Amino acid sequence: MSRTIKFRGKRKNGCGWVYGNLIIMNDGVWIIPQSYDCVAISGKVCHGLVEVIPSTVGQFTGLEDKNDVKGYHHSWVTGVHKENKNNTRTGEIVWDEKNFRWGIQQNGWTFPLDTLIACYDFEIHDNPKLLEVTE
């Protein structure tokens, strides 16, 4: 069985998302972009690494929506149940430790991600207003 393991994170310099392999060091969180074949680390000089905001880092779930948009851990999504189109879920993609699978967490419950037709473009990191509470 082959599985793609990759990560993404928002660049600390504000220049968008970077995708690749994750490295956590004493002085920060870094991603080696997929476009780099080789990385040399010597002392504090890192060539080819991109520093990212730790709270934005997410692992690829291995799942894609109907538009081939990849789902990442901690993304916020809206999903429609495959068999009951009236049953929708909106929440954060999380790893369900109890059932060993990816899910959408909503109101304290975790719903299996693979039972939903999901839309992965609902990003709290790109849309901070989604975190605001309205009364």
| pLDDT at 29 (0 to 100) | 94
| pLDDT at 9 (0 to 100) | 92
- Where b means 16+ CB within 10 Å and e means fewer, 88-126 reads ebebbbebeeeeeebbbbeeeebbebebbebbbebbebe
On the question of pLDDT at 18 being above 50, the answer is: yes
97 and 126 co-located in one domain: yes
64 and 126 co-located in one domain: yes
89 and 120 co-located in one domain: yes
- pTM for this model (two decimals): 0.70
68 and 121 co-located in one domain: yes
Give the whole-angstrom CA distance, residue 112 versus residue 44: 42
Question: What count of other Cβ atoms lies within 10 Å of the Cβ of residue 22?
Answer: 17
User: Is residue 1 domain-resident?
Assistant: no
User: Is residue 97 domain-resident?
Assistant: yes
User: Is residue 99 domain-resident?
Assistant: yes
Q: Tell which residue, 43, 50, 54, 60, has the closest CA to residue 6.
A: 60
User: Is residue 40 domain-resident?
Assistant: yes
Sort 20 into a burial class: Cβ within 10 Å, 0-12 / 13-18 / 19+. Answer: buried
65 and 48 co-located in one domain: no
| pLDDT at 90 (0 to 100) | 84
The count of domains in the chain is 2
Give the whole-angstrom CA distance, residue 43 versus residue 120: 38
Give the whole-angstrom CA distance, residue 60 versus residue 90: 19
24 and 88 co-located in one domain: no
User: Is residue 2 domain-resident?
Assistant: no
Domain containing 28 equals 7-55
| pLDDT at 45 (0 to 100) | 47
112 and 97 co-located in one domain: yes
Provide the terminal-to-terminal Cα distance of the chain, rounded to the nearest Å.
48
66 and 127 co-located in one domain: yes
User: Is residue 28 domain-resident?
Assistant: yes
Give the whole-angstrom CA distance, residue 52 versus residue 18: 8
Predicted confidence (pLDDT) per residue in 36-85, tens digit: 555 445 454 456 788 999 988 999 988 877 677 788 888 888 888 888 88
Predicted confidence (pLDDT) per residue in 75-113, tens digit: 888 888 888 888 888 888 899 999 998 888 888 888 888
